[in-house]
Structure 1
Amino acid sequence: MANKRIVQISDTHLTPAGEVPSFNQQLDPFDKLSQVFADVKKMEVKPDYVVITGDLIHEGTTSDYAELKKNLHKEEQNLGIPIFVLLGNHDRTEPFYEGFLGQQAKSKFYQKVTLKGIDNYFLDTTFGNIEQGYLDQKQLDWLSEHLSKDNKNPALIFMHHPIAGASLKHMRFSVLQNGSELLQVCGQGNVKGIFSGHIHFPTTYLTEGILNSVAESTAYHIDCRNNQQHYVNDAVGYNIITLSEENNIGVENRYLYWGQKIVKEIPIGETGFVDPSIFN
């Protein structure tokens, strides 16, 4: 197997029709996403596929998702590669099913796609419209069955909420709340990496020997270094994932724009995991 390259885009937060950009963005998030696709098109070695890891539209409607489907189809034609999407906490499941998929809505959107000798698992970590992520038992059982049965190919997991790790010690209030359960399931298969977004800054760390990589947003960066006060500025970034012939994996962070102006401040309270009873 030759080297495989996957472009990961995350947290596009595209503005619904008639609304203003979220989080006081000074630049149009549609234009920012166009910058990313233009940059990908310049790559000398074309990537094998693109994955957008959630928060596609900032609380959009059916027509917004239909327009997104049309725009991504154009980008697929321009690049000559498939584009896959999954949902984040600012996405709305029913409008997504109706507008993007043209299907009757289900409670969760997750799937397995084998491409170029890689088993890709696109998970749904949303729980209603709350900020935190959670994987329901049905989805964990589905993943467990596939990973334990199909363990010859390298497996990559894509989801919106990251697992808590060394560099996310003070982000536990916002990330995947049952990451330990996911890691137990991952141990049954040939998982090489877990790729996520949500927190709007890039970071990489190991959990149970598995690479975890979080992508920058294409819409805005959040500076979380101050545990009690976060700062927002416009930014455009994405990741390029490389899986080598030997199944070694690495990630390049690409930055296309970095705004210096602070456009929003977010006060933070408790930073630990939330009460698990809310997921009952």
Structure 2
Amino acid sequence: MIDRRNFLKLGVVGGGAVFMSGLFQTVAATPRDDFFFVQLSDSHWGYKGPANPDAAHTLHQAVAQVNGLEVRPDFIVFTGDLTHTTDDPVERRRRMTQFKEIVAALNVKQVHFLPGEHDASLDQGAAFQELFGPTHYSFDHKGVHFIALDNVSDPGARVGEPQLAWLKSDLATQRPDARIVVLTHRPLFDLEPKWDWATRDGEQAIALLMPYPNVTVFYGHIHQENHHMTGHIAHHSAKSLIFPLPAPGSQEKRTPLPWDPTMPNKGLGFREVDALARPAAYQMTEFPIGRG
């Protein structure tokens, strides 16, 4: 058991809310250990604009804060939009190389990367694969099966039939009561399709996951917290490391919220995710970037 805090107490940490949700309905008999990981998302390295005049430093701040956590996380996941979009393939690779050099300072044994549409949609993930590896994959950690899905390399915002077939095959290797975490960039459900906050064949991925009672999805893309249920499957979005976006459907266009020089990091952050073996659940702790 990780003993760095009382896991079952709801509270506020560093200005961010802590959520407790009973996401797993069953606990397998095999003993499992508690662990925790960190989710970061949407750093958009290479962005220059009024939504974050301090964009050259925000990612560095996040790395320093994660390295300053009381206990080192088991691993870190970046759920997409590592870099800001560019039509220039040379510049795209330069930004990815710079991003990779910055996050290499993270004091953790393992980092998992997913692409966002800013990283992958213009070249179907070619540059991302050169620098970071496959755009979809799975791995296991202390009794939890993690599945990274790519719903961005297809410029039509689809997972696609080949990857859906791979997902079906991957899930077939799991026990019916397996603890499964899905990592992706876009939401798999229709959050706000007119803002590109959806996956066109996401319902097919969800249908493949639905027979498994212990599934949770963590994603990025929308630059804010959002918590949603599709049946028994919980979906949790992460804040951004570059600028916040408006609440779904709250205005005509999804333009970034205005930058506030008195609170330059307002709306930015990352999260810890505590995977608890008993009771089987996830506890999320939201951290703001810096003091803003």
Structure 1 length as normaliser, TM-score? 0.77
Structure 1 stretches of 5 or more lacking a match?
102-107, 260-280
Query: Which structure dedicates a bigger proportion of its chain to helix?
Result: 1
Selected match of 1:210 from 233, 256, 279: 233
Q: Is the 8 A contact 1:147 1:190 kept in 2?
A: no
Measure how far apart 1:84 and its partner are: 0.7
Tell me: CA distance 1:80–1:226, structure 2 relative to 1, closer, same or farther (3 Å): closer
Whether 2:171 is the aligned partner of 1:147: answer yes
Q: Is the 8 A contact 1:13 1:22 kept in 2?
A: no
Report the equivalent of 1:55.
Answer: 81
Report the equivalent of 2:64.
Answer: 38
Amino acid aligned to 1:183: I
Report the equivalent of 2:95.
Answer: 64
Report the equivalent of 1:194.
Answer: 217
Report the equivalent of 1:161.
Answer: 186
Report the equivalent of 1:117.
Answer: 143
Q: Deviations over 1:18-59 (max 9, x none)?
A: xx515642112x421222222222222322110000011112
Structure 2 stretches of 5 or more lacking a match?
1-31, 86-90, 260-264
Selected match of 2:113 from 78, 81, 85: 85
Measure how far apart 1:219 and its partner are: 0.5
Measure how far apart 1:226 and its partner are: 2.0
RMSD: 2.5
Q: Is the 8 A contact 1:158 1:195 kept in 2?
A: yes
Give the structure, 1 or 2, with the largest relative contact order (CA under 8 Å, sep 6 or more): 2
SS of 1:223's equivalent in the other structure is coil
Q: Is the 8 A contact 2:209 2:215 kept in 1?
A: no
SS of 1:176's equivalent in the other structure is coil
SS of 2:82's equivalent in the other structure is coil
Report the equivalent of 1:262.
Answer: none
Report the equivalent of 2:104.
Answer: 73
Partners of 2:284 and 2:230 lie apart in 1 by 16
Q: Is the 8 A contact 2:195 2:254 kept in 1?
A: no
Partners of 2:256 and 2:181 lie apart in 1 by 30
SS of 2:206's equivalent in the other structure is helix
Q: How many residues align?
A: 241
**Percent identity for Structure 1 against Structure 2:** 21
Partners of 2:130 and 2:193 lie apart in 1 by 37
Query: Which structure dedicates a bigger proportion of its chain to strand?
Result: 1
Partners of 1:115 and 1:140 lie apart in 2 by 23
Report the equivalent of 2:130.
Answer: 98
Q: Is the 8 A contact 2:113 2:132 kept in 1?
A: no
